[in-house]
Amino acid sequence: MIAFDWQQYEPTKSCLAGKNILVTGAADGIGKAVTIALAKHGATVLMLDKKARHLEKLYDQIIERGATEPVILPVDLMDINPESATILAQSIHNDIGKLDGILHNAADLGSPSPLDQYEIKYWDSVMQTNLHAPYFLTRALLPLLKHESTTNILFTSANVGRDAAAYWGAYAIAYAGLESQMKIWAEELENTSNIKINSIDPGAVRTSFRRRSHPGESQEKLPAPQSIVNAYLFVFASSHKLHGEQLTVGV
């Protein structure tokens, strides 16, 4: 395992200048914090989220900070299938050209409950958002990532996807599948492209998602999303050798 020394990494102000990075679930929480950080360091961030009004507000915040102008992609991952992903990829190719990174950050918690009582509507939405959509998007966008420069795909995971626990249902199962997907992509592309592929467990962070997943937990003691953005800058901006790794953020 290669060391993930993100806390010691010191990104330069323009370390991502000229880079185009797609972030799903960009409107809130970790996705929002990482989007702002990427833009501050020069990246053109393609902000993908179903919350169009939140994306518009985030766009204004980024511009007000004097950061690189982002691109708004109001897309619901529930609508992503092989055909719509291909259309999106073609649109990005026509308007932007290449991609230098993808952060699959969007997540659906579902309804934690015993498997024999799990509601199928939640099962379907969690599997679509957390597992199927990242696959469809990665597959469709892969040609835009295959160029001379090193590019990165980062799949967001969770500890219950790596070490399953009771009552986490579709959420844990989807992320277990995502971890396998990451490993397979990494092995298949290792000798045929310059794409680095990893997964990341951001750990316990003070977000609205965390409040829903752990309703009895004290949020005040948790780190803010801004405190872990360096981990993502490390992946997308540094000349690391991480590939096929299950990364964990610890603060």
Distance CA 142, CA 185 (A): 10
The DSSP line for 120-179 is HHHHHHHHIIIIIHHHHHHHHHHHHH-SSS-EEEEEE--HHHHS--TT-HHHHHHHHHHH
Q: Exactly one of 118, 171, 175, 232 is catalytic; which is it?
A: 171
**Domain boundaries of the chain, sorted by first residue:** 6-248
pLDDT of residue 82: 98
Distance CA 111, CA 199 (A): 23
Q: Both tokens of residue 58?
A: 């985030």
Which among 24, 65, 15 is positioned nearest to 45, based on CA atoms?
24
Using alpha carbons only, give the angle 33, 67, 248 rounded to the nearest 5 degrees.
Answer: 30
Query: To which CATH superfamily is domain 6-248 assigned?
Result: NAD(P)-binding Rossmann-like Domain (3.40.50.720)
pLDDT values of the chain reduced to their tens digit, one per residue, 251 residues: 577 889 999 999 999 999 999 999 999 999 999 999 999 999 999 999 999 999 999 999 999 999 999 999 999 999 999 999 999 999 999 999 999 999 999 999 988 899 999 999 999 999 999 999 999 999 999 999 999 899 999 999 999 999 999 999 999 999 999 999 999 999 999 999 999 999 999 987 777 777 777 777 677 788 888 999 999 999 999 999 999 999 999 75
pLDDT of residue 217: 67
Assess whether 171 carries a catalytic annotation: yes
